[in-house]
Structure 1
C-alpha cells in the first residue's frame, strides 16, 4: 500500500473521530440546556433541546426520558379531547423508547401499568389489549405495580371481560384475592408508619420536618388505597355473594374435593362472605381438614363450633389456628375473632390483649382500636377513683378512637363520631382549671394506663 493511500485512510479516521467527539460534545451541551430548564419546570424552553437529544442521542442518558415524561404529563393534564389522546400516545411511545435504550433502568410493572392506564383513560385499543398491558406489568413485576388507581383499573377490566364471557368467574376470585392482598400489604406498611409517628407525637416528642412529611404522605396514600379497596369490593359486588358462590362450588365439589388449593379457596371465600350456614361449607371444611389439617381448617372448625354455641371448643380451635397461621393478615383475623368472644364474655383485659395481637399482625386494622376505645369508655365509672379521674377515662377512649381513623381511613367518619362523643363526656376546661397541677391521670383496674390532660 503506497504512502498516498495510507494518508487518505489516516485522514478519514481522524475526521471520523473528530466528528464523533463533536457529536458527543453537542449531545452533552444540548442535554445540559434541556435538563436545566426541565429541572425548574420551564418545559416550554426545555422541549426543543430535549427532543433534539431524544432524536439524535437516544442513548445519552435515561434523564432524557424521565424529563420527557414530566414534560408530556404536564401538557397532558392541561389537554382535553383529541390533543389529550395524542399526548397519551406520545407518552406510550416515550415509555417504549426508554425501555428500548435503557431496559435495566425501566421498571416493567411501572411501565406497563402506566401504558395500560393511558390506554384505558383515552379509549386506546380494546379492553383485551388494555388488560394485557396491566397483566404483563402485574405478572412480571408486581413489586413495582403500585398505584392504587391502576390496581383498580386492572381488576375492573378483568371483571368486565368476565361479563363479556371472556374470563372465568374463578379467575375473578383469584385476581381479587391477589390484588386485595397487595393492597393490604401496602395499607399495613403505611399504617405502621402512622401508628409509630402518632404514638411519638402523643408522647410529647416533636416530629422532625421529615417525619411530618412522612406522616402526611402516609395518610394521603392510605386513604387512596382504602378507597380503591372499597371500589374493588363494590366492583366484585354480587359476583361473590352466597347466591353465586354456593352453586359454583357445589357444581365443582365432586371434581375438586381432592384439590387442596381449591378447597382452601372455596372455604375461604365462603367464610369471608359468611356463607357458613350452608351445608356445603361443612363439606368443604371436613374434606379440607381430612386432606390437609392446618390453621385454616382449625379456624373453620372454630366457626362451626361457634355456630353450635360451643364457645369453649371454638376458642380451642381459634387458638390452635392462631398458633399455626403464618400469614399475618389471617393471624390478625383469628386474634380479632378471639377478642370479640372475650369482649362478649366481659373479659375486657383479655379482649384488649387479643385486639393488640391483631394490630401487631395487621397495623391497619383500625376496628381493634375502636373496640378498645369502647371497652375503656364503658369502664369509666369502675376504673376511676373520683369524679375527675372517672371522666378522664374518656380522654383515653378518645385517643384510641382517633387512632382508629388515622390507620384506617374507611373508619374515619365513624371514629370521629365516637371520639367526639367521648370528648363530650371528658372533663371540661373548667374542670381542669378547678384541679390545678394535674398533668396526667393514672387509670386503674383492667385498663392500667396513664392519660395526659389535654390542653383545651
Structure 2
C-alpha cells in the first residue's frame, strides 16, 4: 500500500513538473512577443510569472526584461513607482548573473547596476561610488562601457567638489579611470589593427571581420570622447599651480615615504611640471630610495631639458626596462623615439615608435610620426622618380592607421593623407608607367618596406 502511495505521489510530481514546464514555455513565448513590440502592459505580468516560477528557463527573460524595465522606469509617473522599478531592474541583472553566468560578463552587469543607481540618484554619492568600485574589484577587464567609465569619475569629482574627498583621492581616481579607458582602447585597437592592415593590402574582409572592425572603431571614437570629458572634469585641479604647492608643503615630512614620492613624481611628470626645483628633489629622492621606471623617467626628462641627450637616453631606456605597466612603457618609448627622430636617426626612431605601439596599440600619433619620417625620406629611397614619389603612398597608409586607432586625430590625419596622396604619383603617371598593381620594395634605404601601386 505504501509503495502504491509513493508511486502515485511520484507520478503526480512528474505530471506537475511537465505542466509547469509547458506553462513556462507558453508564458515565455507570450512574454517575448509582447516585449518585442513594447506592449509592456501585457509583457510585465508574464515577466513576473517567469521569474517567480521558472527563472532559469531562458536567458531571453532577462534580456527582454532589462529593456522593458528601462523603458518602464523612464515612463514611471511617481517617484515611488520609479524606485520600485529600479530595484526590479537591479534584481533582473543579478538574477541573470546567477542563472546564466556563462552567458554573462560580470563587469557588464555590475556596471549596469551602478549606472542605474547613478542615473536615478539611488543612495548617497559614496554608495554610488562603491557600486562602481565593485565593478573594478570584481571584473575590471569587462568594465568597458564608455558612459559608465565617465560616470565613475564624475562621482569622484562631485565628492571632491562637495569637500567629502580630498584632491589626492581625485587624482587616484583619475589615474584609475584613465587606465581603464586606455586598457579598453588598446584591446579595441589590437582587434582592429590586423583588419586595417588587411584592408590596406586590398584584401576583402568577411562579414564577421567587417562587424568587428566597425564595432572597434565605434568604441575607439567613444573612448576618445570620454577621455576628453574626464580630462575636462579634472581641468585646472591638476595643473602645476595646484600640484607644486600641494607637494612642496609635504615634501620634508614625506621625503622618505616611497608611496608619496611615487605619486608626486608621477603627477608632476605627467603634467610636465619639470621646471620647478621640487621636481628634481622628488625625482632624486625617489631614485635614491627605490630606483624605478618613474624615477628614471623623471631624471631622463631633467637630462633632456638640460640638453644632455645621451644621458637622457640612458635614463629613459632604464625606465623602459623597469616599467611594468604597458601604458607607461609606451609613453617612455614614444619619448625616446622623438629624441631619435629629432636627431635624424629615423631607423632608431621607428624601432622605438613600434615598441610604443606594441605596448599601446591605440597610440595613433606614433603612426603619424612614422608617416612623417617616410615622407621626408622620399627623395632618398627608390631607383626612379616614380618609385621615390610612391613612398608617399606608404606614408599615407601609416597616417590612415593613426586615424583608425585614435579617432581624435581624424582632422589631422585627413589633411596629412590628402597632402601625401597629392605628392604621390597620379592616375596619369600610373598609366604612363604601366604600374598598376606593381609592388615596389625599398630595400635600398632605411624604410625597407613595400608598397603596392593602387588602382586610382
- Which residue of 1 is the match for residue 109 of structure 2? 111
The answer on whether the counterparts of 2:303 and 2:309 sit within 8 Å (CA) in structure 1 is: yes
Q: 1:68 aligns with which of 57, 65, 70?
A: 65
Paired residues of 2:110 and 2:135 also in contact (CA < 8 A): yes
Contact 2:160 2:170 (C-alpha < 8 Å) held by counterparts: yes
Question: Would you say 1:248 and 2:246 are equivalent positions?
Answer: yes
Q: Compute the displacement of 1:345 (Å).
A: 0.8
Mark the CA change 1:37 to 1:83 in structure 2 (over 3 Å): closer, same or farther. farther
- Aligned 8 A contact 1:260 1:291 in 2: yes
What's 2:384 paired with? 386
Residue by residue over 1:411-441, the C-alpha shift from the partner in whole angstroms, topping out at 9 and shown as x without a partner, is: 1221111111111111111111111145233
Q: How high is the TM-score relative to the length of structure 1?
A: 0.89
Aligned ranges 1:415-430 → 2 under 5 Å: 415-430=413-428
Correspondence for 1:133: 131
- Provide the rounded CA distance (Å) in 2 between the counterparts of 1:428 and 1:84: 66
**RMSD (CA atoms):** 2.9
Q: Per-residue deviation at 1:227?
A: 1.2
CA distance in 1, matches of 2:397, 2:10: 77
Structure 2 gaps, min length 5: none
Deviations 1:388-419 (A, max 9, x none): 22221211111111110001111122111111
- Alignment-derived partner of residue 24 in structure 2: 28
In structure 2, the partner of 1:37 is 33
What secondary structure is seen at the aligned counterpart in 2 of 1:451? strand
Deviations 1:266-291 (A, max 9, x none): 10110010001111111111111111
Query: How has the CA–CA distance of structure 1 residues 374 and 157 changed in structure 2, closer, same or farther, with 3 Å as cutoff?
Result: same
1:203 to 201, 204, 211: 201
1:293 matches 2:288 = no
Q: CA deviation at 1:103?
A: 3.1
Residue 447 of structure 2 corresponds to 447
> What corresponds to 1:52 in structure 2?
49
With the length of structure 2 as denominator, give the TM-score of the two structures. 0.89
| Gap change, CA 1:250 and 1:34, over 3 Å in 2 | farther
- Aligned residue pair count: 449
Matches within 5 A, 1:21-420: 21=17, 24-34=20-30, 37=33, 41-44=36-39, 46-58=43-55, 60=57, 63-73=60-70, 75=71, 79=74, 82=77, 90-97=85-92, 99=94, 103=98, 105=101, 109-420=107-418
Looking at structure 2, the residues matched to 25 and 191 of structure 1 have their Cα atoms a distance apart, in angstroms, of: 46
Report the Cα distance in structure 2 between the residues aligned to 1:155 and 1:403, rounded to whole angstroms. Answer: 30
Cα displacement (A) at 1:451:
1.3
Instruction: Give the whole-Å Cα distance in 2 for the aligned partners of 1:86 and 1:398.
Output: 57
Question: C-alpha offsets along residues 360-398 of structure 1, whole Å, 9 cap, x if unaligned?
Answer: 121111111111111111122232433322221211111
Structure 1 residues 296 and 128: alpha-carbon distance in aligned structure 2, compared to 1, 3 A threshold: closer
Structure 1 range deviating more: 290-299 or 60-69: 60-69
Separation in 2 of the partners of 1:433 and 1:141?
Answer: 57
The more displaced of 81-90 and 217-226 is 81-90
Asked if structure 2 preserves the Cα contact closer than 8 Å seen for 1:65 and 1:94, the reply is: no
Q: Is the 8 A contact 1:30 1:53 kept in 2?
A: no
- How many angstroms does 1:182 deviate by? 1.5
